[in-house]
Amino acid sequence: MNYVGIDIGGMSIKGGIVNENGVISTKKTVVCEPDKHDKAIVKDIAKLIDALLEESGVSRFEVCGIGIGCPGSVYDAEGIVRYSCNLNFRNTPMAELMADMTGIKNVKVSNDANCAALAETLFGAGRGAKNTVMVTLGTGVGTGIIADGKLLTGNRSAGAEGGHIQLNIGGRKCGCGKRGHFEAYASATALMKQVGEACEKHPESLMAKMAKSDGIDGKTAFNAAKMGDKVAVLTIKRYLKYVGAGLVSLANIFYPEVIIIGGGVSNEGEAVIAPLRSYVQKNVYGSEYNPKIDVVAATLRNDAGIIGAAALCF
């Protein structure tokens, strides 16, 4: 059986032809232009689907459904993207528009982090578990929650926004405009800000010199730490405590079997995962008596969004 999975991001839109086993046979990517009108973006997605079908040789009649993962607040049951802060989606009837443009009537839409969580639970790092929490550390902090094998999305799919847990009242400004949220401290964007602040305080550090010559990205602190820079090591340690604090809050509420860490930061492997695993196991409520919660890196990488979106239609 053939499904189309679409993963909408702030910079690109990825799509693939996916079978019921979560295997992608054909994959393509187009640039996302966030300033475009919502219907124009949906039209670009429809063109991407046309290109996927042409390249794969799969006809529209052989597609069992189109699944779309989109950042922001999505009303799954109605296929409406209520709001996406980085894209011009405002009560956009995504499923209806896509069905009209493609002629494929079975269209499902959900939050992109929900899709990634679904994919990792069915086919990736959480395979075999029925209760998982996925946290993606990227431009923002996305979360997806699987409870008893089903996506947990709250009232009219407005929930599961773990990136906006309040860590610090009146603290750093979040991408959503509010202050003190998990995302404001634990995203890759937040890490870059923390690196910049550390470089200003310690211009003599290797990390500061690297930042001055090459600029700051999500790898700057980790690269400097690998070369023995103490300022970088302390910056990462502090950052991971912020991440750990958010994970503990999520763990105490949902108590999953496994927490899956995705996003660009997860590419650092055990340098990130091991400290987070230790932090969660030490600080979660009832740690001495309750089952252990494992913390692992996502395994599907950039394909998780495509596979999870397609899985909405399984």
Q: Does residue 257 sit in the same domain as residue 135?
A: yes
Q: Does residue 284 sit in the same domain as residue 187?
A: yes
Is residue 133 a part of any domain in this protein? yes
Q: Does residue 307 sit in the same domain as residue 261?
A: no
* Separation between Cα atoms, residue 304 and residue 163, nearest integer Å: 19
Q: Does residue 18 sit in the same domain as residue 111?
A: yes
Query: What is the chain's pLDDT, residue by residue, as a tens digit (314 residues)?
Result: 999 999 998 889 999 999 999 999 999 999 999 899 999 999 999 999 999 999 999 999 999 999 999 988 999 999 999 999 779 999 999 999 999 999 999 999 999 999 999 999 999 999 999 999 999 998 889 999 999 999 999 999 999 999 999 999 999 999 889 999 999 999 999 999 999 999 999 999 999 999 999 999 999 999 999 999 999 999 999 999 999 999 999 999 999 999 999 999 999 999 999 999 999 999 999 999 999 999 999 999 989 999 999 999 99
Strand order in the sheet with 294-297: 150-151, 141-147, 132-137, 258-262, 294-297
User: Which residues, in sequence order, are CB contacts of 32 under 8 Å at separation 6+?
Assistant: 8, 9, 10, 11, 12, 13, 41, 44, 87
pLDDT tens-digit map of 201-224: 999 999 999 999 999 999 999 999
Q: By three-state DSSP, how is residue 258 classified? A: strand
Is residue 192 a part of any domain in this protein? yes
Q: Does residue 67 sit in the same domain as residue 89?
A: yes
Q: Does residue 110 sit in the same domain as residue 139?
A: no
Q: At what angle do helices 304-311 and 112-123 cross, to 10 degrees?
A: 90
Parent domain of 35: 2-118+303-311
pLDDT tens-digit map of 122-174: 999 999 999 999 999 988 899 999 999 999 999 999 999 999 999 999 999 99
Q: Does residue 23 sit in the same domain as residue 172?
A: no
Q: Does residue 174 sit in the same domain as residue 285?
A: yes
pTM: 0.91
Q: Per the structure, how many domains does the chain have?
A: 2
pLDDT of residue 4: 98
Max Cα distance, the chain (Å)? 63
CATH code (residue 60): 3.30.420.40
Q: Does residue 7 sit in the same domain as residue 135?
A: no
Is residue 19 a part of any domain in this protein? yes
DSSP per-residue letters across 82-138: EEETTTTEEEE-HHHHHHHHHS---EEEEEHHHHHHHHHHHHSTTTT-SSEEEEEES
Is residue 123 a part of any domain in this protein? no
Is residue 282 a part of any domain in this protein? yes
State whether the Cα torsion 84-162-160-299 is positive or negative.
positive
Q: Does residue 161 sit in the same domain as residue 253?
A: yes
pLDDT of residue 175: 86
**DSSP-derived secondary structure letter, 195:** H
Q: Does residue 92 sit in the same domain as residue 24?
A: yes
Is residue 34 a part of any domain in this protein? yes
Is residue 206 a part of any domain in this protein? yes
119 touches 300 (CB < 8 A): yes
Q: Does residue 213 sit in the same domain as residue 91?
A: no
As given in the structure block, the two tokens for residue 23 are 């295997």
As given in the structure block, the two tokens for residue 253 are 């509420």
